[in-house]
Amino acid sequence: MKVTYHGHSVVTILTDDGTNLLFDPFINGHEACDLVVDTVEADYILLTHAHSDHFGDTIEIAKRTGATVVTTVEIAEYLSSKDVEAHGMQPGGSFNFEFGRVKLTPAIHGSSLQLNPDDEMPTTLGLASGILVSINNKTIYHVGDTALYSDMKLIGEMNDINLAFVPIGDNFTMGPKDAAVATKWLKAKQAVPIHYNTFPMIEQDPNDYIDLLDDGVGKVLTIGDFIEL
Ligand code: NI
Ligand code: MN
């Protein structure tokens, strides 16, 4: 399978049987992203939480492609109200889809979205999550937005993680140092930093993260770069 980074937390997986998975499709308003809302392919959209830099263009893409959105129950209920096909889960739960198994993990982070342009405040939509995906005995972990938390050790012990996408931007998520501890606890064989340099507040040198990892584990992907698993 081909796993491609598209900037911020946007990741795609093209499986060997041709299924397109799209994670956290923040495209409009994300200038560096190499995807286009009107053409991006998706059979499933996997959404870690409701913040606009993750929820992004979910509704538009799902409506055009007919993709099923896999996310937390509260976001799934909101999407269903917008006539989008959605599969609700909660952290700790897993489910076998046609392409493979998805498990949501905890994330210490918020999850809210401005539902209507006139709303004065965003609406909270349940918990944030990370997303573990196992396809043909390969496990990819999209950590989502989160603080460092010690149950990451358990996630590392219970799963054989081939590739992890780990936020390093700081301020809203782990910074480079915490992200490096997380990556070690997760025992990820390969790890790619995400959620940095999109906005001034999350500017980071990704090598500050890579240099803290064991040799060969960390890999900076430029936008459009991919890893074959
Ligand atoms: Ni967030
Ligand atoms: Mn975010």
Q: What pTM was estimated for this model as a whole?
A: 0.98
- In terms of residue numbers, what domain contains 218? 2-228
Distance in Å, CA 199 to ligand 1 centroid:
13
Q: Which residues surround ligand 1, an ion (CB under 5 A)?
A: 51, 145
Q: Which residues surround ligand 2, an ion (CB under 5 A)?
A: 53, 145
pLDDT tens digit sequence for 82-111:
999 999 999 999 999 999 999 999 999 999
In the chain, the number of structural domains is: 1
pLDDT tens digit sequence for 167-181:
999 999 999 999 999
CA distances from 13 to 115, 130, 184 (A): 28, 16, 23
Conformation bin of residue 139: beta by default, left when phi > 0, alpha when psi is -120 to 50: beta
CATH number of the domain enclosing 172: 3.60.15.10
Residue that the structure tokens 């799209």 belong to: 22
Mean pLDDT on 136-145: 98
Kindly compute the dihedral angle of the four CA atoms of residues 208, 141, 127, 102, in this order, to the nearest 10 degrees: 170
Mean pLDDT on 209-229: 98
The predicted structure's pLDDT at residue 171: 98
Kindly compute the dihedral angle of the four CA atoms of residues 175, 8, 186, 219, in this order, to the nearest 10 degrees: -90
Distance in Å, CA 154 to ligand 1 centroid:
23
